[in-house]
Structure 1
Amino acid sequence: DVLQKAVSHVLDFNYKGLLRVESELFLPWLREKLSFEPRPSVNRAFQNMLQKLESERSLVADIAQAMRKEVEIVINPDESMQAYLSATKNVAQLSADLSSRVRSIMEQQDIFIVPAVAYVVPEKEQQ
């Protein structure tokens, strides 16, 4: 029950909220701002970068869904000990994978998105 609450809090509250803000507000705003880049090659690079980040986010969502399924096995008292142990191991591995992917997304944003915004978007609009 504690594991289920922890996973639910992280995935359904924290991460889902962040994804919604990014999907509904930040990414459309960013696409709009970066699309004004007059050089086609730079514009394509921006769009490719955003597409790669969206693909990474999709993989994170898949990992989160797999983690939810494994947690259901862990908390189900009717599951065998072998299923319980396997699911527990899988939750730990999925958690590590999730953490690694999210860290990678953050690093990519710091390396590519932040400088792109600083370059393309006027300072007064960056707040």
Structure 2
Amino acid sequence: MKCTTRVSRLWLCFQVLMGLVTSRGFSLFARKAPQKADVIGSCLSRAEAYEQLETFLQQDAANSATFQIQGWRWHTMSLARQAERLQQLAVRRPHDTAVITRAVQHVVNFNMKALHQIETDLFFPWVRKQIATKNPAIGSAIHVVLEELEELRQSVQILGSQMNQDATLIPSSSASIAERSAQVAQQTRSMLHLENTYLVPTIARIIPESEQKSFNNQVIRNLGIWDSRLHLVGMYEAIADDPTEMKLFEQIIPSLARKMIPRWKRLLYEPVAGDW
């Protein structure tokens, strides 16, 4: 019985990696709606997945490869920072309807929306495919990490939708906006911790730097030049006081773009985001 169970789990794992079924065991080609699964996750539990990744990273600690998709990390940091600032704004100026409404629009409908769209449409599918192809065993563990990140992201999206509704009821809803934006910041930082602990170092070790850089270019094309500049300003402000992040920023972002940040902030960013 134990042998049969283990074989079944391994077969499910293979199907998940090949895209034949979802992580919850649902066939992608089934004609009928699947029944609710009793077990959440892939063929590995979270504890098993994290243990496997920790072992892999320890064994490969001498690997000098670097993570190149820093814009995604900085975008996540930017969302957390702006959500914290929105929380402070709603507490400090609860009756300033116009300013709070504008801030909610920027945090939820610009910053959060763009980050989550990139993760959903491009980044997470790309990571799944790349790691499953290059290292199937680790791909199964990364699948578990991505599932947890997706659950957190869905929770953040719900909070964002609620904040959009609250923005129509200011000032009576200012306290609710403050509470929910604080939750957005906390959950986004939880995601960042998970990403920095498992996802970032695994990508650095498995996916060649050239392929990471190519993906960066794909993201920029997806965002467009205008929005890319706006997001770059937000990223810069999120890391400006962190010497380690600023060193990476100077290494990755071309000098001309760095020099243009003050101008883009004044002419592009502040007219859209507001000064709050």
Aligned sequence identity (%): 30
**1:2 CA drift (Å):** 1.5
In structure 1, what residue type is equivalent to 2:185?
Answer: S
Q: CA RMSD in A?
A: 1.4
**1:107 CA drift (Å):** 1.7
- Aligned match for 2:118, one of 21, 30, 52: 21
Alpha-carbon contact 2:163-2:177 (below 8 Å) kept: yes
- Tell me, in whole angstroms, the C-alpha distance in 2 between the residues paired with 1:34 and 1:93: 38
CA deviation digits over 1:12-53, x for unaligned, max 9? 0111111111211111111101212232xx332111100110
Q: Secondary structure at the match of 2:136?
A: coil
- Aligned match for 2:129, one of 32, 39, 61: 32
Equivalence map 1:38-117=2 (5 Å) = 38-39=136-137, 42-74=138-170, 84=172, 87-117=173-203
- Tell me, in whole angstroms, the C-alpha distance in 1 between the residues paired with 2:198 and 2:109: 27
- Structure showing greater radius of gyration is 2
Q: Secondary structure at the match of 2:170?
A: helix
**1:94 CA drift (Å):** 0.4
> CA separation of 1:48/1:88 partners in 2, compared to 1, >3 Å: closer, same or farther?
same
Q: Which runs of 4+ in 1 moved over 4 A?
A: none
In structure 2, what residue type is equivalent to 1:66?
Answer: Q
Higher normalized contact order (CA 8 Å, seq sep 6+, divided by chain length): 1
Whose helix fraction is larger, Structure 1's or Structure 2's?
A: 1
- Tell me, in whole angstroms, the C-alpha distance in 2 between the residues paired with 1:61 and 1:110: 21
Partner of 1:118: 204
In structure 2, what residue type is equivalent to 1:121?
Answer: I
Partner of 1:80: none
Partner of 2:260: none
- Tell me, in whole angstroms, the C-alpha distance in 2 between the residues paired with 1:38 and 1:89: 47
Gaps of 5+ in 2: 1-97, 214-276
- Aligned match for 1:6, one of 96, 103, 109: 103
- Tell me, in whole angstroms, the C-alpha distance in 1 between the residues paired with 2:139 and 2:127: 12
- Tell me, in whole angstroms, the C-alpha distance in 1 between the residues paired with 2:112 and 2:136: 34
Q: Secondary structure at the match of 1:74?
A: coil
In structure 2, what residue type is equivalent to 1:68?
Answer: N
Gaps of 5+ in 1: 76-83
